[in-house]
Each structure stands twice: as C-alpha cells, then as structure tokens.
Structure 1
Amino acid sequence: MEFEVIQGDIAAQSADALVNAANTSLRMGSGVAGALKRAAGGGLDKEAVSKGPVDLGGVATTDAYELDAEYVVHAAAMPPGGQSTGESIRDATRNALAEADALGCESVVLPAIGCGIAGFDFESGVRIICEEIAAFEPESLSDVRLIAYDDTDYETIRRIAGEVRG
C-alpha cells in the first residue's frame, strides 16, 4: 500500500490511531512511549500496562486520552530491557497495521518501531517497516504515515521508502 514519510513529534499528530514503539510489558518509558505518555495525560501508561504483557511482536490497543487520535496501538518489538530483532520488528509492524485496520481506522502514524532504544540497526529496521507497509493489504486504512523525529532520520527514512517503493 502507499504510505507517506513525515517528520515531527508523533504525540502531536492527528490520526485515527498512533502506534507506540513498546516493549512486551507495555510499560511506557522513554522515546516514543515517553512522548505519547506525556502528551496523553493520565491514564495511558496505566491502561497499557493493564493489557500486558504481550508476546514479542504482539500488540495491544488503548484509548488515546488527550492525544488527537481514537486509539494508541502498542506494538511490542522488544522485551523489557532487551533488544529488538528483524523478526520482532516485522511482526510488530504487521500486527500494528492489522490492528488499526481491524478497528476500522482510516489513518495511522507509525514510528520506526524497534529502531531506537531497542537497539536494532536503524536503516535495516526502517527497510523492514517500509516493506511491511508496502505489502499490507488494508480493508479500511488509506492514510499511513511513517514518522521521523529529526532531519537525519527523515532523510534516511525517505531514501529507504523510495528504494522499497521502487
């Protein structure tokens, strides 16, 4: 499917669903999770933890609280304190897209799941994510955005997305 690469803070995005780069405990710490937790106000971390733990590559959905979204899909690409793998990034991305689609979402914003604190090589991880988005066949999703936080990551993601699209 087609997707757009954007730059900014995921917590400031407007979409039906925002994807959190989670660990299997679903406890929200730093990075993407920290940004979402701070912007959502009280309740998001508590609800997320109540839905965990999930399997590696699994997802859980919560309310988005004060975020400009209906849902937060927590995609677990790493164990707590551990590292992500190519397989866990692939599974977490695929499952996050499938969950947003199953919820009837038309729009979703994904970060580079498993490529930050989870320690996986950024370019390799982004390539896996782009391949999964490109291969996904949605029922309801029509607006999929892959977000980069800074200029360097944005340029890298844009380049890799272009290569994946051919």
Structure 2
Amino acid sequence: MEFTVIQGDVAAESADALVNAAGTSLQMGSGVAGALRRGANGPINEEAVSKGPVDLGGVAITDAYDLDADYVIHAATMPHYGDGRATAESIREATRNTLEKADELGCESLVIPILGTGAAGFDFETGAQLICEEVWSYEPTSLTDVRVIAYSEPEYQTVTDIADQLQS
C-alpha cells in the first residue's frame, strides 16, 4: 500500500473514499465537515445524521454526491456530549475503523485528514503521529493508495516529518 502525505483541501481531492472528521452525532458543522458538506452539494448532512449517532471511534458511510469520490466515511473522533474532546484512543479507533471500512467497501484509494485536532481540540502533532502509525501498520485487502492530508504548509511539514520517521 502506498502511503503519502499531501497538502490541500480534502473536499478537492479525488479518491474512492474521502474521510470526514466527525462527531458522534454525525452532524456536519465546520472545518473538514463543512468543506465536505459544501463540496458535496447535496443532502450529505441529512444522510449522515440519519445514520447516527455512532459510538466514539465508530464510522458511517454516505454517498459523496458532487465530491470526486464514491463514498464519504464519517469517522467519529469526538463526542457530541460532555466536553466534546477527542482522545488518543478515539483517534486510533476511528482511523482503524475507517481503514477497515474502506477495505470492506472495496476502495483502492482513501484520503484522510488529521482527525480530532480541529474543533475536537486534540494536539495536532500527536494526532498526526497516531494516524500515521495506524495507516503505516495497517494491512489492507483492497486499499493501495492512502493519502494523509494536511491543510496548511506548517501542518503538511509536521505530517511529512512524522511519516518520514515511520518509513525510515
């Protein structure tokens, strides 16, 4: 499986599946969810919410509508109750469940952002380390191309440094 780090907007990417950084209610608000919702140009939020709530670390699948993908995998790293904060375990579990679901769907390509580090408040560098470790150690059945995406140049550099350390 090819594991690369890219910079950009997840909603502008082309892949079999794009990943949404979701809360357990699956309500698509701001950040990654907002970008995907706007790019989908369809009832993706309503479809996502109809499949929730999900457990922390759980995933749900929706159509990608006008996004250049077949599916959006909504990975719940933050609770929509209590403090609303992601944890190391919720990030690891959501990443693992995302990879497994993509394989189950027969996806060959996947683009995943650094889950749990925006509105969910988890430290970006630590979150990137957890996600890269999960991707790096995953043994796929259909996935051949997994791209971890960072939005800004500094975030991209952080994720690239982490990925380089894992691959050396």
The letter for the 2-side match of 1:110 is I
1:104 aligns with 2:106: yes
Question: Please, which moves more after superposition, 77-86 or 142-151?
Answer: 77-86
Q: Compute the displacement of 1:2 (Å).
A: 3.7
Could you tell me which residue of structure 1 aligns to residue 3 of structure 2?
A: 3
Counterpart of 2:144 in structure 1: which amino acid? S
Deviation at 1:165, TM superposition (A): 1.9
CA distance in 1, matches of 2:152, 2:124: 13
* Cα deviation code 1:118-138 (max 9, x no counterpart): 101111110000000001000
AA aligned to 1:45 is N
Map of 1:86 onto structure 2: 88
Q: Is the 8 A contact 1:127 1:164 kept in 2?
A: no
Cα distance, 1:143 vs structure 2: 0.5
Q: 8 Å contact 1:2–1:134 — kept in the other structure?
A: no
Q: Distance in 1 between matches of 2:19 and 2:151?
A: 14
Q: Secondary structure at the match of 1:29?
A: coil
1:102 deviates by 0.5
Report runs of 4+ in structure 1 exceeding 3 Å deviation.
none
Matches within 5 A, 1:51-62: 51-62=51-62
C-alpha distance in 2, partners of 1:120/1:137?
Answer: 26
Alignment partner, residue 128 of structure 1: 130
Could you tell me how far 1:42 is from its partner in structure 2?
A: 2.1
Aligned partners of 1:131 and 1:139: how far apart in 2?
18
* TM-score w.r.t. length of structure 1: 0.98
Give the whole-Å Cα distance in 2 for the aligned partners of 1:10 and 1:160.
Answer: 20
- Corresponding position of 1:42: 42
- Residue 146 (structure 1) aligns with: 148
Once the two structures are aligned, what percentage of the paired residues are identical? 66
Residue 3 of structure 1: SS of its match in structure 2? strand
RMSD over equivalenced CA pairs, Å? 0.8
Partner AA of 1:103 in structure 2: L
Whole-angstrom distance in 2 between the partners of 1:122 and 1:30 = 17
Q: For 1:155 and 1:80, locate their aligned partners in 2 and report how far apart those are by CA, in whole Å.
A: 30
Counterpart code for 1:50: S
Residues 32-67 of structure 1, C-alpha deviation per residue, up to 9 Å, x if partnerless?
000000010121000000000000000000000000
**Which residue is equivalent to 1:28?**
28
Q: Partners in 2 of 1:3 and 1:102 — Cα distance?
A: 19
Given the alignment, which residue of 154, 157, 160 partners 1:155? 157
Distance 2:122 2:145 in 1: 26
SS at match of 2:139: coil
Distance 2:166 2:2 in 1: 11
